[in-house]
A and B are shown apart, each in its own frame.
Chain A
Amino acid sequence: QVQLQESGPGLVKPSQTLSLTCTVSGGSISSGGYYWSWIRQHPGKGLEWIGYIYYSGSTYYNPSLKSRVTISVDTSKNQFSLKLSSVTAADTAVYYCARAEGSSSRIDYWGQGTLVTVSS
């Protein structure tokens, strides 16, 4: 059973960089066939896809966030990470890491989510 767990600061100051890590267990990021993804949900709102990374390092980002987002992978630790720069209060959200299957529409495994608040 694949499990994903987000970790990182729950509070970030405006203009700083939000950094989160997702640790994957029960499966290897290096096995291929999956897009390792970040998705966020503003309080009381819907879901927004941020971007994903393939084990090879190829990335795709939501055009609306592309200028501020970097997703990276560390296959030796079976982890992938999110950096979102120049944050504002509008970036306050629950951030989920998830696994998307490359050959279908499904996002089949999700982390529990972590709330990140942007405030001074």
Chain B
Amino acid sequence: EIVLTQSPATLSLSPGERATLSCRASQSVSSYLAWYQQKPGQAPRLLIYDASNRATGIPARFSGSGSGTDFTLTISSLEPEDFAVYYCQQRSNWPSMYTFGQGTKLEIK
């Protein structure tokens, strides 16, 4: 089973700053890596899929990069509504399954 490790666990920043979140896989996932944002009491919201593709309606300040085992989600200039928990997720074919990272909490400094 592929394990995803996210860092840092908590990131404290101010609005307007740049946020860089990391996700490392225990083995290569190619580009089958997605990022989600979750706010309290809500379902996760897809931000990025296949490592670098923005989902429909996602602002351009969100970007994803990486391949293989190391991935990054960047938020170029934080808006107040961006403070939330972020999860990475991979999909593997053999065995066919999905796993999630443990999450990074982005909090207001």
CB within 8 Å of B: which residues of A? 37, 39, 46-49, 60, 62-63, 96, 98, 100-101, 104-108, 110-113
Q: Is the CB of A105 within 8 A of B43?
A: no
- Roughly how many angstroms separate A98 CA and B96 CA in the complex, as a whole number? 16
Output the nearest chain A residue to B1 by Cβ-Cβ distance: A63
The contact sample of 27 A-B pairs, CB cut-off 8 A, is: A46-B87, A46-B100, A47-B44, A47-B87, A47-B89, A47-B100, A48-B100, A49-B100, A60-B95, A60-B96, A96-B43, A96-B44, A98-B43, A104-B32, A104-B49, A105-B34, A105-B50, A105-B51, A105-B91, A106-B46, A106-B50, A107-B34, A107-B36, A108-B46, A108-B49, A110-B44, A112-B43
Specify which chain B residues have a CB less than 8 angstroms from the CB of A60 in the assembled complex.
Answer: 95-97
Whether the pair A107, B46 counts as a contact (CB closer than 8 A) is yes
Task: Closest B residue to A108 by CB, please name it.
Answer: B46
For A37, what are the chain B residues with a Cβ–Cβ distance below 8 Å?
98
A46: chain B residues at CB < 8 Å are 87, 100-103
Q: Chain A's interface: helix, strand, loop or mixed, by majority? A: strand
Query: Which residues of the partner chain A approach B44 to less than 8 Å between Cβ atoms?
Result: 47, 96, 107, 110
A110 B1 Cβ-Cβ under 8 A: no
B99 in contact (CB, < 8 A): yes
Highest count of chain B CB atoms <10 Å: which of A60, A98, A101, A106: A106
- In the complex, what residue of chain A is closest to B30 when comparing beta carbons? A105
